[in-house]
Structure 1
């Protein structure tokens, strides 16, 4: 098939493009390079089945493809809060444009949604049936409410136009090709540890997160996209292993052999206190669950950043 991946030069998008090529598909990667990087897909450019198009999904697309994965949107608070209006436009206008394309082509379409739709949850772990607790006017709402609005659009197109949709709610994912300055906790801690500077923890470090290695997540994407038509999601994809931020920092220091110390700063507005996926639906429906433990994934990610810094 010919598969369109919007946001294909980003962290997740580049891994997805690589996997789809390995499975024998032709891949059209669309990215405006706001947070994506040509470095992430440089090794794919010589592949005759790979094509790169510089384009912003807030403008309509006129293409011929069989499937669409919509991953276009900055995913870290540092980047999506840098231009919140554009972030919301990317979520909403971008969704409308890819959905209109899928409708014209009668193509199956996948939406990369997020655990941020649950906000600062009152239910733990979070099942797909939970509607969430989100501040609609806060500094994170451009992303949180943008993704919630995109989900609304996907299900309305599904109900009204019978579009074949797949919606995944992604929990914290990490691995090679993360942006070193994206402000996300795993990349922050690894970069600080490798540079020997103090590791910054917001709050007291007792808030929890669940960390999924990128290869496991891409397996989930492919499995969900290949599932029967009546499996639309939304479906949680993430690793249910739960760790405090302080535990993560201590593991990174140990694995890097760093002398970095922990320093503490005030907790940002609307930062969730707990985040853990209930993946019962994915396990039952897809037979999917993560295989890579945190230490193994962290070592692969540390190696990537170590090589990145050495090459510079």
Structure 2
């Protein structure tokens, strides 16, 4: 198989690169390095099965591939709100361009969608049949609505052009290669604790999230691509934790003496987020294997090494 991974140098993309390369497949990694890092895939540079291209998916590109894994889009609030118009363009034009490529070369296409399409949900936990509660004009809309139109494009290409699509809705994922400054709750807490700072919780900490370790997520992604299922299918860990519980787990692993402080909750921040994964269990025979405690230990060691390396170079 010849695979194109957009956003391939990013957090999720680079882990997918590893899995496909280890399986002996050919991989073209496409990234504009807005949030991706060449270092994430540097161990494959020079390998005969690997090609790295610097490219922005909002511009068309011509390639011959069998499968397209469309992961390109900033996924953390800090990054996607930095340039919301660019984020919306990436979701719409990027998906449009990659679907056009899939149609021309007959490639199977997987969209990395998101649990954010459910917005601030009125149904809990969230099944794939739930249509969401999204603010169309809020500060998160560039990403939430961007992914919704990306899903729309996928199904319109399927209906009009028989394009073979797979749509996965990714819930909160964490693990090595997250950026230390990406504003996501797991990396925020770990980096603050390792630096000896107070851990900042937004709101009263009662809002909930479900955290899936990256290896589990990539396994679900590969199973969906290899299946006959179109989706959308939720891929995430159904274990539900409050943000305060997460802060306490991180603090107790790094420095139990650290304080937990609170600040006001950002606008449109969802109060609950938990996937129903019945479809993934039934059709993909997939469910997460790595507990939050185990995944946190691995992620903490990754960030500890990153911060140690940064300090040594200062």
Match of 1:233 among 223, 231, 238: 231
Q: Distance in 2 between matches of 1:52 and 1:39?
A: 12
8 A Cα contact 1:79 1:182, kept in partner: yes
Equivalent residue, structure 1, for 2:116: 116
Match of 1:301 among 275, 299, 302: 299
RMSD: 0.6
| 1:259 CA displacement | 3.1
1:263 maps onto 2:261 in alignment = yes
Provide TM-score, normalisation by structure 2: 0.98
Q: Distance in 1 between matches of 2:48 and 2:38?
A: 17
1:6-39, Cα deviation, whole Å (9 max, x unpaired): 0000000000001010111110000000010111
Q: Distance in 2 between matches of 1:190 and 1:67?
A: 35
Equivalent residue, structure 2, for 1:25: 25
Equivalent residue, structure 2, for 1:222: 222
Equivalent residue, structure 1, for 2:53: 53
8 A Cα contact 1:207 1:272, kept in partner: yes
Match of 2:275 among 274, 277, 281: 277
Provide TM-score, normalisation by structure 1: 0.98
Equivalent residue, structure 2, for 1:250: 248
Unaligned 5+ runs, structure 2: none
1:93-131, Cα deviation, whole Å (9 max, x unpaired): 000000000000011000000000000000000000000
Which consecutive segments of 4 or more residues in structure 1 shift more than 3 A? none
| 1:45 CA displacement | 1.2
Q: Distance in 1 between matches of 2:262 and 2:167?
A: 36
| 1:284 CA displacement | 0.4
Greater Cα shift, 35-44 or 234-243: 35-44
Equivalent residue, structure 2, for 1:169: 169
| 1:61 CA displacement | 1.1
Count of equivalent residues: 310
Equivalent residue, structure 2, for 1:197: 197
Q: Distance in 1 between matches of 2:288 and 2:67?
A: 25
Equivalent residue, structure 2, for 1:207: 207
* 3-state SS, counterpart of residue 99 of structure 1: helix
